Amino acid sequence: MEVKPYVRTAMLDGKPAPVTSSGPAGWLKKNLFDGPWNTAATLVALVVVFLLLSHLLPWVFQSVWNAENLAECREIIDATWGPEHSGACWAVIHDRYLQLIYGFYPWDFLWRPNLTFAMMLVAIAPVLFTQLPRKMLIFSCLFPFIGAWLLWGGSIWQPVMVLAGFGIGAAAFRYLAKVNRILSIAAAIVLPVIWWVFVMETVVHGLHAVIPLGLEPVQSNQFGGFMVSIIIGLTAITCSLPLGIMLALGRQTELFIVRTFSVGFIEFIRGVPLITLLFVASTLLNYFMPPGTNFDLIVRVIIMATLFSSAYIAEVVRGGLAALPKGQYEAADSLGLDYWQAQQLIIMPQALKIAIPGIVSTFIGLFKDTTLVSIIGILDPIGLSNAIRADSAWNGIYWELFAFIGFVFFIFCFSMSRYSMYLERKLNTGHR
């Protein structure tokens, strides 16, 4: 009997993957129940999470939001859920949330920090997201002067003349660069300092006498809460990145004086605790100023926080520079680029891409370290929480205030972490 071979003339339809290897069931098997040890660890973790949530969730949600004091809050909890129940007294947040956000900033002027925060979001948007129009960067450059004027008030000519100092430095650099580059850099630094220290106040008083435009002044001792943390953290982050990059380049340069200064500055700052620098800012820095100079305490803290963060940023950037292969430098030389062109177009973009995780980690640490200013008398959220707990109405409350403060800090720090991951994915040019 002749057997004819069977040849399929039509393709079979594709079948879905097994349930145990795809979809939710596949994910659970791969990540949670892949073998006896993984299964045991998953079950133990589930028991721990259940025990934590069974105690935490009732405390968080079976709580009180409206009460005049802690005693009334506990009476409401006992009457509603029983005397054995220990719920949270979120009424303290409802009662003092404005103080935790703004400190003792005058209530009639709260529109000023609100407007400043809204303008801040507009200013940093084109810096964080390159899809936005580049013309918005003009507003980003002007925002620090506008924001400072809105928060502290005073004559409008003050920020205008501070901005004029930068204009003087830029003009000096532009015109003297044709003569001598080092001279132009020195003039761009010295001339604005002379303008700000010796000339600006006289010009501001003269202009304000002729055209009196300004806002009601607000003293720095009225600042507080998360507003202080955002002001110090954001300003120090913004200023420390370019300063840290320059220090990293200075540490690798062949110029002896520049390299020695950069190494000495970095090692000194990294060897001193931040709290020590804050004490220096609050007590000793005024001794180096001319007699009669009123150097704002928050500005002093911003300067010290910026210097502290820039030293760590310099080391992170230096690590990125060291990670680049030597061929990148040789490629820049083969194209005929000078030092600054090579750094701008080839070296620094790659080094910063490598250093993104370390830079963002330093920024997150700096933002959290702003809580240290409570030690030198600035009422940040931690300082205000101590003041609130000292009030007889809320004496004895503890966890609710710190839980709220920690939650707000988590939102800011988690947002920075997510943006870091977005930036890494965006700049990832490698092949997987």
Q: How many domains are there within the chain?
A: 4
In this structure, are 401 and 308 located in the same domain? yes
DSSP 11: P
Give a yes or no: residue 432 inside a domain. Answer: yes
User: Strand (E) positions, 73-182?
Assistant: 154-155
How confident is the model over 161-165, as a mean pLDDT? 91
List Cβ neighbours of 272 (8 Å cut-off, separation of 6 or more): none
Give a yes or no: residue 34 inside a domain. Answer: yes
In this structure, are 232 and 380 located in the same domain? yes
In this structure, are 147 and 53 located in the same domain? no
pLDDT in tens, 354-380: 898 999 999 999 999 999 988 888 888
In this structure, are 336 and 421 located in the same domain? yes
Candidate from 136-140, 285-289, 426-430 with smallest mean pLDDT: 285-289
Pick from 354, 367, 345, 272: nearest CA to 318: 354
**Using CA atoms, how far apart are residues 32 and 42, in angstroms rounded to an integer?**
6
List Cβ neighbours of 145 (8 Å cut-off, separation of 6 or more): 159, 160, 162, 163
**Using CA atoms, how far apart are residues 200 and 197, in angstroms rounded to an integer?**
7
In this structure, are 209 and 246 located in the same domain? no
Residue 237 confidence (pLDDT): 93
Last residue of a domain, one of 180, 197, 215: 215
Give a yes or no: residue 14 inside a domain. Answer: no
Give a yes or no: residue 140 inside a domain. Answer: yes
In this structure, are 47 and 193 located in the same domain? no
Give a yes or no: residue 78 inside a domain. Answer: no
pLDDT band at 44 (very low <50, low <70, confident <90, very high): very high
In this structure, are 185 and 259 located in the same domain? no
CB-count exposure of residue 40 (10 Å: 0-12, 13-18, 19+): exposed
Average pLDDT, the chain: 87
The CB density around residue 224, as the number of other CB atoms within 10 Å, is 24
Give a yes or no: residue 80 inside a domain. Answer: no
Phi, psi (deg, nearest 5) at residue 3: -100, 120
Give a yes or no: residue 380 inside a domain. Answer: yes
Give a yes or no: residue 91 inside a domain. Answer: no
Assessment of whether the complete model's pTM goes beyond 0.75 = yes
In this structure, are 125 and 177 located in the same domain? no
In this structure, are 246 and 124 located in the same domain? no
Q: Supply the range of the domain harboring residue 54.
A: 22-61
In this structure, are 29 and 171 located in the same domain? no
How confident is the model over 23-30, as a mean pLDDT? 76
Residue 431 confidence (pLDDT): 46
pLDDT band at 181 (very low <50, low <70, confident <90, very high): confident
**Using CA atoms, how far apart are residues 81 and 79, in angstroms rounded to an integer?**
6
In this structure, are 252 and 186 located in the same domain? no
